[in-house]
Structure 1
Amino acid sequence: MNELKGGRICLRPFQAADIDLIEKLGTTPLYHQSAGFAIVRNAAEVQQVLHIYQERPESFVIVQQATGAAIGLVELNQRGVDPASGLDRTRELGFILLQEYWGQGYMTEALQVLLGWAFPQLALTEVWAGHYENNQRSARLLQKIGFEFRYEVTLPFKFIEQTQEKYYLLTPTRWQRLREKTNFFPG
């Protein structure tokens, strides 16, 4: 797949040129503390993280169309591959945006574009998303998009400051109902 286009952003697969985005995300403590982005300490680690994103078929760079700048990422990660369990048709959403673009609607648009493509193209039955307890911006965004809170877990990791994560669910039926009720959703 090449690109998914919105009004102000497009989503495209990761490229070698996205090394600067990975370095910025991986060396800024804010992104590790608020979203669990991997800490990178050197050029080899930056390359390794970039390679991981390049290998994931449903990971995308958020590009600001007006400038061509890479401003964040969105991805859908598999939750399982067994068709008998149905997990092969579910995903977990991940997203992160450079701080200078917060509060401008870019991530809302990126998630609308991604989910508008993913539900029909991948025939998904569920999309899950989580956020650290202190990340209220992500909580508001998920609720705005239509995700419903389901549960909270205590994380077993001792190397992160956040110990609670809240999980939300969005189904294609709810997504479609919200699209039909409002002009908020594209397509």
Structure 2
Amino acid sequence: MYKNLATPRVTLRLISHKDAASMHAILNNPLVSQFNDYTTPLSKSEIKQLIQNDISGYYEGEVIRFTIKQNTLNKVIGSCGLYKINKEARTAFLGFELDPEFWQQGYMKETLQTLIPKLVMHYELIMLYAEVNKANTASCKLLEGLGFTNNENIWFCSLNNN
């Protein structure tokens, strides 16, 4: 369904098992894991299972997850995608992680501004949610800039895709 999506600085592609080492490093980074809802450290086998769950969820229509590759370095620097995709309600949750080395440089904004419209059209979404810890001020600011509104730790964005 999806080929690679490219911007001037990043390329997005569906996650695969070859991303396990990169995702292991990113998800176990304390600066990243402090805001996620899993217990660390994650073992390599747990990372492989997370990736397998994403792949299976993709084929079941419940999840779509992309890796974010920095083009110049040819390095995976994060991931993003949708989970809890509800086709009947036309809703989904947005999730994303980025290697701290690339924080505050606009990579995630560039990524999400490219990806969200394509996913909204494909899944015909009318509402997009994101669950973000209030202490994660950079992600909160990012979501606000993308048009999301906050209600406690849940962010939501009503979409004009009727």
Structure 1 118/97 Cα, relative in aligned 2: closer, same or farther at 3 Å?
Answer: same
Partner of 2:10: 9
Q: CA deviation at 1:79?
A: 4.8
Partner of 2:66: 60
Q: CA deviation at 1:28?
A: 2.2
- Please give the alpha-carbon distance, in whole angstroms, between the structure 1 residues aligned to 2:158 and 2:105: 26
Task: Calculate the TM-score normalised by the size of structure 1.
Answer: 0.75
Task: Calculate the TM-score normalised by the size of structure 2.
Answer: 0.86
- Please give the alpha-carbon distance, in whole angstroms, between the structure 2 residues aligned to 1:128 and 1:134: 18
Asked if residue 172 in structure 1 is aligned to residue 159 in structure 2, the reply is yes
- Please give the alpha-carbon distance, in whole angstroms, between the structure 2 residues aligned to 1:34 and 1:139: 12
Q: CA deviation at 1:97?
A: 0.3
Partner of 2:122: 121
Asked if residue 77 in structure 1 is aligned to residue 83 in structure 2, the reply is yes
Q: How does 1:157-168 map to 2 (within 5 A)?
A: 166-168=153-155
Q: CA RMSD in A?
A: 1.9
Count, aligned residues: 155
Structure 1 136/112 Cα, relative in aligned 2: closer, same or farther at 3 Å?
Answer: same
Structure 1, unpaired ranges of 5+: 153-165, 176-187
Write out per-residue CA displacement over residues 27-74 of structure 1, whole angstroms, 9 at most, x where no aligned residue: 322222123355344332232122223333211001112222110010
Which deviates more from structure 2 when the two are superposed, residues 97-106 or residues 55-64? Answer: 55-64
Question: Does the CA-based 8 Å contact 1:90-1:124 persist in structure 2?
Answer: yes
Structure 2, unpaired ranges of 5+: 59-63
